[in-house]
Amino acid sequence: MTVQELTHFIGGEKVSGKSGRFGDVYNPATGEVIAKVPFASRDEVKEAIDAAEAAFPAWRDMSVARRANIVMNFRNLMMENKTKLAEVICQESGKTMDDAEGEIMRGLESVDLAIGAPQLVKGEYSVNVGGNINAYSARYPLGVVTAIAPFNFPIMVPLAQTSMAVAVGNAVILKASEKVPMTALFISELWKQAGLPDGIWTVVNGDKTAVDELLENPKVHAISFVGSTPVAKIIYEVGSKHGKRVSAFGGGKNNMVVMPDADLEQVANSFVSAGYGAASQRCMAISTLVAVGEGTADRLLPLIKEKVEALKVGPASENSDYGAVISQQAKDSILAAIDKGEAEGAELVVDGRKAPITTEGKGFFIGPTLFDHVKPGMYVHENEIFGPVRNIVRTKDLDEAIQIINDHELGNGVTIFTNSGYAARQFTTEIEVGMVGVNVPIPIPVGYYNFAGFKASRFGDGHMFGPDQARFFTKTKTISERWLKESDDKEMSFAFPSN
């Protein structure tokens, strides 16, 4: 098999790496190396930043209508190339085809919102606020901005981080995950075909060296990051220290609360699909089912167990329910987490370690695993297990369920299944989590609503998705304007101006 040597995308062109350092890109379904990705040096990143900065003024000064038209062209090209793009995603991430295509469509919601950027960056205007002075506000792009993307959504998250940034007039540098760089390079060509000026869209591949330069370089004005909570915290602290606007999104430990009155068949289907889809490598995946009331878990468990054991795990080509995890290192970490859960006394209902695909299959596959009688303090409860290991927690009432969730350091997403409006209202009011669902499997908002968690799931005030993207990637100038006649008073005044 030929191993492809990848490039960066700088100044509208594919640019070979100069550092001599490369990383392996795997096909998780086979475990084979399919490409070598260059790791940029600091000097290479500086060159990319300089190219973006040089391209920025002309893009900033282009009419908002022309910019929106280019974003529309890009959207159309995405749709024309959806199948090819999905195949690239499957190849480097291990996803199933259905999951990859679904990710593309969710990513396009961010592009759709960006097409409407002219509406979102409108300012305000007031006539004669005093002394024949008119006051108005206007939004301007920041300049060079950066997105640092994760491996688990090769297209949806980068589009959510960058589409609005491009549309409102910034020059964008994407540091794609070194595990899934081919998707970013694929859409780079689509941006060029769409008519985006060279230098406005840049992809720099690399590791910590590249990230450090992006965080510290004074020509970069904003950072959008998605990844694990410990790294998000570092990104926020370092970026802020260097005077940048930072929005850093971390992990999630998302719960599905089930009330005794819920339709348990619906709950079982929702929990299994929301918990195990994409091999559970989603920051909004449901990690834990919290069964409320005596007997609820006992009634649910046989339904869930049967569906979990029936899950088909394998490559995208085999019409699987979910595919491989991203790497052998990830697989080893997930298997170790199962060992810890068992050692700490959680009841192992389904053991994915023993599945043939785990022990004998090629690639980085793990069979689905389900724990019952999980309690706060256990490793599998406290930590985000980025793989197909899900939990059941039992509580006596809704108050206890809310308290357990609110006590956790992460607060990305949560949902409740109930037919009681009173319970749903109490839950949505008292829960300290950023994205909340009621009878919704995965409470991820649509692209025109703001996306962000609470607590250690987010650092900074920015949002991903939604109209706050336009605010995050622009700065507001407030202008007071008066035009004088020759006959107007020309005397000096030392009093503080007032109306």
Annotate 71-127 with DSSP letters as a single string. Answer: HHHHHHHHHHTHHHHHHHHHHHH---HHHHHHHHHHHHHHHHHHHTHHHHT---EEE
Select which of 88, 283, 285, 337 is catalytic. 283
CA dihedral 236, 280, 324, 382 (to 10 degrees): 70
Measured distance CA(366)–CA(313) in Å, rounded: 8
Could you give the CA distance from residue 179 to residue 93 in angstroms, rounded to a whole number? 8
Q: Which helix (H) or strand (E) holds 8?
A: strand 8-10
Strand, helix or coil for residue 45:
helix
pLDDT at 489: 67
C-alpha–C-alpha distance, residues 187 and 161, integer Å: 14
d(CA 456, CA 432): 12
* Structural domain spans, the chain: 4-250+457-479, 254-438
* Residue 492, pLDDT score: 78
**pLDDT, position 450:** 85
Contact 289, 391 (CB under 8 A): yes
The yes-or-no answer on residue 283 being catalytic is: yes
Residue 332, C-beta contacts closer than 8 angstroms, at least 6 positions apart: none
Q: How many CB atoms lie within 10 A of CB 302?
A: 12
Query: Strand order of the sheet with strand 125-130?
Result: 125-130, 133-141, 474-481
d(CA 118, CA 434): 28
Tokens of 241: 């220290």
Per-residue pLDDT of the chain (499 residues; tens, 9 = 90+): 689 999 999 999 999 999 999 999 999 999 999 999 999 999 999 999 999 999 999 999 999 999 999 999 999 999 999 999 999 999 999 999 999 999 999 999 999 999 999 999 999 999 999 888 999 999 999 999 999 999 999 999 999 999 999 999 999 999 999 999 999 999 999 999 999 999 999 999 999 999 999 999 999 999 999 999 999 999 999 999 999 999 999 999 999 999 999 999 999 999 999 999 999 999 999 999 999 999 999 999 999 999 999 999 999 888 899 999 999 999 999 999 999 999 999 999 999 999 999 999 889 999 999 999 999 999 999 999 999 999 999 999 999 999 999 999 999 999 999 999 999 999 999 999 999 999 999 998 888 888 889 999 999 988 888 889 999 999 999 999 998 887 766 677 788 877 6
Check residue 88 and give left, alpha or beta (phi > 0: left; psi -120 to 50: alpha): alpha
Q: Classify 131 in phi/psi space as left (phi over 0), alpha (psi -120 to 50) or beta.
A: left
Give the model's pLDDT for residue 499.
67
- Position 465 scores a pLDDT of 82
Q: Which two tokens stand for residue 447?
A: 């692209």
CATH hierarchy code of domain 254-438: 3.40.309.10
Encoded tokens for 479: 């202008």
- For the entire predicted model, the pTM comes to 0.94
Please say whether the beta carbons of 244 and 220 come within 8 A: yes
Which overall architecture, per CATH, does domain 4-250+457-479 show?
Answer: 3-Layer(aba) Sandwich (3.40)
**The residue type at 429:** T
Angle among Cα 291, 456, 288 to the nearest 5 degrees reads 20
Calpha distance 58→198 (Å, rounded)? 11
Distance CA 375, CA 174 (A): 40
Smallest CA-to-CA distance from 180 within 313, 28, 387, 321 is with 28
For 234, the 3-state DSSP assignment is helix
